[in-house]
Structure 1
Amino acid sequence: MSPDRSPGGAPALGSRRPLRTIGLAIAACLLVVLLGLSLVVGSAPIPLAEVIAALTEHDGSPTHITITEARIPRTLLGLAVGVALGVSGALMQALTRNPLADPGILGVNAGAGFAVTLGVALSGVTRIDQYLPLALVGAVVATIAVFAMAGGSRGTASPVRLTLVGVALAAVLMGVSQTLALIDPDTFDRMRFWGAGTIADRPPGTLEAIALPILAGLAIAALCARPLDAIALGDDAARALGLRLGLVRSGVLVSVTLLAGAATAAAGPLVFVGLVVPHIVRGITGPRWTWIVAYSALLSPALLVGADVLGRVVVLPAELQVGIVMPLVGAPVLVALVRGRRARNL
């Protein structure tokens, strides 16, 4: 039975559907505003009229080149990476029934990042098309490792154990990655900003390289979102509704791997993006994963692009990478979740 319906099938009193729809429209407007700010704001502010002129009447001037070759690719990459991390975070929380889960905290991003670092150290790969497959493989291996180690001898992984194992594995992989970078500083000097987490100055073709994995991951996520609502009621209830739990969970894992792996290959090991947004939107959507995923697809890129814009202005004329700004936002939220009643009852 839908949470929006009464036992008799009529709309429940105080249904959230109109509020959800209005909120989704507001989220879309917020995303558009922040995307616009990303084109305008920077070390050299550019008027909106000049941005429009660069799009409609490009004259080859330095300002127009900055807009079309730097800010637009950076903004579009922030949009793609934000969507990927937000949706994968929501799916991870639904799969594990863990409000503290996201690909960063559970070590998925660290696994992808470690695989890229290993590839750079062993074979000197530096192009996105070369290390994207490595990132996807690393994400898969890290996911399997976290679930295997957290499951223990009984094969069941509690939310707390998943979180602790994921954080520990991420710390180990990041430590090894940094060690490899110190051993070969010349090679890794070209990827130092990637290691910090950034959507600026990415190699040409980055967005094109990750587009297909992200689109495939989003398509799978769309297919899995509604069954996740039934799984949230419990495995027995889901089976009674005729769901194939193994198939749905496998689909979620494939989607998370594609989304998190592609995002990490493009922008480095960003954390907290998929953790913050699902908790913000639950106050509007309630425990409906179809809506949580939809909101995450809009608000996560808004958060990432907003953090990137903030990083451009707080230390002018220099910039802070978005991978540095995001923990300043996400860490307080994680502390609040750990102290909250829902997390204490895990």
Structure 2
Amino acid sequence: MFKIRKKTILLLIGIPIGLIVTMFCSIMYGATTYNLSTIFDAVFHADLSNMDHLIIRTSRIPRVIGALLVGLFIAMSGALMQGMTRNYLASPSIMGVSDGSIFVITLSMIFMPNTTPLTLIIYSFIGSILGLLFVFGVARLIPNGFSPISLAIIGTILGMFLNGVSQALATYFQVSQNISFWYNTRLHQIDPVVIKWSIPFAITGLILALVVSKAITAISLGDEVAQGLGIKLMKIKLLTILSVAILTGISVAMVGKITFIGLVIPHIARFIVGEDYKRIIFFAGILGAFFLAWADIISRAINPPFETPIGVVTALVGVPFFLYLIRVKGGKQHA
């Protein structure tokens, strides 16, 4: 019991301290470096006629909050998907969820150009569901379509198809510049209003994730085992899809498509806390938040004062890990 309490105390202390350090570092470093006194004044005694205070309040703070939230949401979505499908290669960026969001956002920009932040989030959420159902529907039609490698290949191909159609439509209707934000993951252009409107959706998605987490552990052992334990499979899987769609949809609406976090981080969480998805989903969220925030900081530090695309930083970790998973576990499902 002492060990459990000690770990709990360390987490309760370590997570807030890590969060504060991460936020200060993210606000501090960039094209312009700010000292702690400037940051403190901008937060607690803001003078919006002061350009430094304005940048910190309207750009740096929303940027780090967005990075933390998106990392949290995408990592939890990846953990939910891996548990539900028993697929080590499942993640929102590979399974067509993010591409479905971008596809519907593209359609909204073409046919409803005056989209508000709230409707943008709703369209992105709808696109997430459609993208996931599209991939699962095609996988059901293909022999052995739900095996880990087959599902990853199907998701990647259909994601590329949706992406290609989106870009073709954007070019034809001359809205490419308007939607470039969602293709290039520009955290520095995040809209604080979208963050604000995302909060109620995020709370809903997180509650659903926590509600299904215990059942996901059973499902990860096999549908027969879950049914033997009295788990209502269809209900849990629908709630899981809904949670993934909400969390991924608001993430894409905020910053665009983020790759590899939903793939890599759940595996790291599983290595740390074991196979219990109640713990995996929680720790994946915490690790994902810190990972994306620090990836953003590193992207600014690689070639100052210019910013390296954050996708490059996540890919440096994600691509080797993805290849490792294909080599070692690609043909296997959870035991």
The normalised TM-score by structure 1 is: 0.88
Aligned residue pairs, count: 331
Give the match for residue 4 of structure 1: none
Displacement of 1:247 after TM fit?
A: 1.2
Q: Secondary structure at the match of 1:205?
A: helix
Any conservation in 1 of the 2:73–2:247 contact (CA below 8 Å)? yes
Following the alignment from structure 1 to structure 2, what is the Cα–Cα distance between the partners of residues 298 and 47? 27
1:1-346 correspondence to structure 2 within 5 Å: 21=8, 24=11, 26=14, 29-60=17-48, 61-125=50-114, 127-152=116-141, 157-185=146-174, 187-340=175-328, 342-346=329-333
Unaligned residue ranges in structure 2 (runs of 5+): none
Any conservation in 2 of the 1:20–1:284 contact (CA below 8 Å)? no
Following the alignment from structure 1 to structure 2, what is the Cα–Cα distance between the partners of residues 23 and 197? 33
Any conservation in 1 of the 2:167–2:176 contact (CA below 8 Å)? no
- Which string of whole-angstrom CA distances, capped at 9 and with x for unpartnered residues, describes residues 195-252 of structure 1? 2112222234110121121110000001011111222232233223222121111110
Displacement of 1:287 after TM fit?
A: 0.8
Identity of aligned residues (%): 31
Following the alignment from structure 1 to structure 2, what is the Cα–Cα distance between the partners of residues 71 and 241? 48
Unaligned residue ranges in structure 1 (runs of 5+): 1-10
Displacement of 1:148 after TM fit?
A: 1.2
Following the alignment from structure 1 to structure 2, what is the Cα–Cα distance between the partners of residues 52 and 180? 46
RMSD: 2.3
Displacement of 1:29 after TM fit?
A: 4.1
Q: Structure 1 segments of 4 or more deviating over 6 A?
A: 153-156
| Between 223-232 and 286-295, the greater mean CA deviation after superposition | 223-232
| Between 81-90 and 155-164, the greater mean CA deviation after superposition | 155-164
Following the alignment from structure 1 to structure 2, what is the Cα–Cα distance between the partners of residues 153 and 54? 57
Q: Secondary structure at the match of 2:244?
A: helix
Following the alignment from structure 2 to structure 1, what is the Cα–Cα distance between the partners of residues 186 and 10? 29
Any conservation in 2 of the 1:197–1:324 contact (CA below 8 Å)? no
Q: Secondary structure at the match of 1:85?
A: helix
Displacement of 1:184 after TM fit?
A: 3.8
Any conservation in 2 of the 1:112–1:136 contact (CA below 8 Å)? yes
The normalised TM-score by structure 2 is: 0.91
